Copies of this chain bind each other. A is one copy, B any other.
Amino acid sequence: MTPLLRQVLSQVDGPDPRLNELVSALVTHLHAFVEEVRPTEREWLAGLDFLIETGKMCTPDRNEFILLSDMLGLTSAVDDVNHAGPDNMTPSSVEGPFHSPTPARELGAWISSGPERERGVPTVVHGRVLDCDGTPLAGAVVDLWQADDTGLYDTQDDSQDRGNLRGLFTTDADGRYWFRTIRPSSYPVPTDGTGGRLLHAIGRHPMRPAHLHYRVTADGYRPLTTHVFLAGDPYLGSDAAFAVKDELICHPVAHDTGSEQWEIDGPFEEIAFDLRLVSVNWTEEKA
């Protein structure tokens, strides 16, 4: 530790111990960064200018700092440290910026009713909400949102009604949920800001692999926010938001004909995805 850093830390003494801890740790890591890379003054000022520009482009509808946090894996890291649990739980994943209040729907409902329904691949999504012992959870609420076949959410696309490709479902007595939709598409994160400039500068593409978002709640269990990804997507190994986890990748099954069970005509795909919630009473046992 440099004498300078020691001096800075010695003066962190506010009334909130947690804030003191956060500031002290951040200052320590930023000083270590400076010692390690020895930025020139020009580099340092360029970094500060980048932060200014990022702040100035944020609006109520666009948070470029969250995008930077996502694309540097920091949002995922924060998610991970907050959602430790037993090995057989369904892992959480980042919420992303596109959640919005969702209309309640009957099990089996079509959530796709816009022009994308004609273009997209009909898809049945079904599964169960369980506890970590495999016991089905009846009455769990599954909040679901996804982009269309061109990668746009309703809130980004005037051709979709609000609530399109979203749904709020309640599991049945066996913990089951199901709905009909179209297959989501991979899509780029916004590239017209500082986040996009950074991605370009470090040689990365802006794509997120196709996914559906889930937020699941059930009495007595921790809320679970996560994604399901589709096996075979070319961007699974390089998600711009680093949200992919192996347990969240499912294998869609292609059917050449329709299904009476799923009330669907013609060829369709089937995605089966169970979600295992963690009891609110679970505590991390330190070995």
Give the interface of A toward B (CB within 8 A): 2, 4-5, 7-8, 11-16, 19-23, 25-27, 29-41, 43-45, 47-48, 51-56, 58, 63, 65-66, 69, 72-82, 198, 200-204, 238, 242
Copies in the complex: 2
Chain B residues near A23 (CB-CB < 8 A):
198, 201-202
Partner of A74, one of B19, B34, B200, B203: B34
Q: Is the CB of B51 within 8 A of A55?
A: yes
Q: Is the CB of A65 within 8 A of B48?
A: yes
* Complexed CA–CA distance, A52 and B79 (Å): 21
| 18 pairs, A vs B, C-beta closer than 8 Å | A8-B73, A11-B202, A11-B238, A14-B201, A14-B203, A22-B37, A22-B43, A22-B47, A25-B37, A29-B29, A29-B33, A30-B74, A34-B74, A35-B77, A44-B69, A52-B55, A54-B55, A56-B58
* Complexed CA–CA distance, A75 and B202 (Å): 25
* Interface SS of chain A: helix
A202-B55 contact, Cβ under 8 Å, with A25-B33, A37-B22, A41-B79: no
Q: Is the CB of A77 within 8 A of B31?
A: yes
Q: Is the CB of A51 within 8 A of B65?
A: yes
Chain B residues near A39 (CB-CB < 8 A):
22, 78, 81
State the Cβ distance, A201 to closest chain B Cβ, in Å. Answer: 5
Partner of A78, one of B26, B44, B242: B44
Instruction: Given contact pairs A23-B201, A56-B56, enumerate 4 new A-B contacts (beta carbons under 8 Å).
Output: A29-B32, A31-B77, A52-B65, A55-B55
